[in-house]
Amino acid sequence: MTGTKVALITGAAKRLGRGIAEHLHQSGWQLALGFSQSKTAADAIAHNLNQARPKSVRLFQADLAQQSDVAQLIEDITAEYDQLDLIVNNAAVFPSTPFGNTSPEQWDEIFSVNLKAPFMICQGLAPIMAPYSSIINICDVFGEKPLAGFSAYSASKAGLMMLTKGLAVELAPRIRVNGIAPGALLEPAGSEDAGLLTELITRTPLHRLGGSDCLDSIVAFLVDNQYITGQVIPIDGGLLTT
């Protein structure tokens, strides 16, 4: 497929990924939307966006914890599109991993989805990235400000921040690579995280959730500005470490 700019967004069926997809679609992008388990939600967003602009969205299912699925995703994207203009590595897992009770399997899943998959996707799809295209990694403020009980997750996001900086050097000047480190933007998906949300808002000087719009606008900014690479932009309301 050629013509309109094409973006791949992983973890696009719900929450922040969905918001990024809707924002880019409104700006005229063709979308390749990756998802894992959330097929109903993925079908719904694809249906809605394709109704607004026919044949503008394709869905690609992949469990990013499985390298075979990552390899298949790369193969499918390469077969479907002649060229990509943007990759947004948004998919992530966020399980609680209390120290002393974290299993090797939990560690492997977190790092496979949050760090290994973005690297492999970038490596596999870089050959079809357009000149002066862009990669945006959705990092996390907890990659710099660790969260108790989530050390494995925090470490994976710290790795994604460094990967962002490393790939910016590896892929320059043809591809720019940047990251965004959100804080408390949306309410947690599970009610069991209500206490965590209260704690984060208390530690945030702006004392409120940021909402998905502030992330969408930074994605658009990083796509448009052709002289920014290797940067990770925090949008965390000034979140304090303690």
Render pLDDT for 101-142 as a digit per residue (tens, 0 to 9). Answer: 999 999 999 999 999 999 999 999 999 999 999 999 999 999
Q: Note the pLDDT of residue 164.
A: 98
Long-range pairs, 12-17, Cβ under 8 A, ≥24: 12/42, 12/45, 12/90, 13/38, 13/39, 13/41, 13/42, 13/45, 14/38, 14/41, 14/189, 15/186, 15/189, 15/212, 16/90, 16/138, 16/182, 16/185, 16/186, 16/212, 16/215, 17/88, 17/90, 17/91
Omega of the bond leading into 173 within 30 degrees of 0 (cis): yes
Nearest CA to 183 out of 211, 156, 161, 160 is that of 211
Annotated domain spans of the chain: 6-235
Say whether 178 sits in a helix, a strand or coil. Answer: strand
Active site residue 153: yes
Nearest CA to 88 out of 29, 158, 145, 37 is that of 29
Q: Note the pLDDT of residue 61.
A: 97
Q: What average pLDDT does range 65-86 have in this prediction?
A: 98
Active site residue 140: yes
Q: Which of 18, 58, 85, 153 is catalytic?
A: 153
Active site residue 15: yes
Q: Note the pLDDT of residue 2.
A: 42
Q: Which of 140, 176, 216, 236 is catalytic?
A: 140
Which one is predicted more confidently, 187 or 201?
201
Q: Note the pLDDT of residue 184.
A: 84
C-beta separation of 185 from 215 below 8 A: yes
Q: What is the pTM of this model?
A: 0.94
Look at strands 84-89 and 30-35 and give their pairing. unpaired
Measured over the CA atoms of residue 136, residue 175, residue 29 and residue 123, the dihedral's sign is negative
Q: Which of 15, 58, 176, 203 is catalytic?
A: 15
Comparing 16-20, 86-90, 186-190, 235-239, the range with the smallest average pLDDT is: 186-190
pLDDT range class, residue 1, cuts 50, 70, 90: very low
Question: Average pLDDT of the chain?
Answer: 93
CATH number for the 6-235 domain, one of 3.40.50.720, 3.30.70.1560, 3.40.50.170, 3.40.50.2020? 3.40.50.720
Q: How many CB atoms lie within 10 A of CB 120?
A: 17
Condensed to tens digits (0 to 9), the pLDDT of residues 135-189 reads 999 999 999 988 888 999 999 999 999 999 999 999 999 999 999 999 888 887 6
Q: What average pLDDT does range 206-210 have in this prediction?
A: 88
pLDDT range class, residue 200, cuts 50, 70, 90: confident
Q: Note the pLDDT of residue 242.
A: 64
Residues with Cβ within 8 Å of 237's Cβ and at least 6 positions away in sequence, in order, are 183, 184, 204, 205, 206, 207, 208, 210
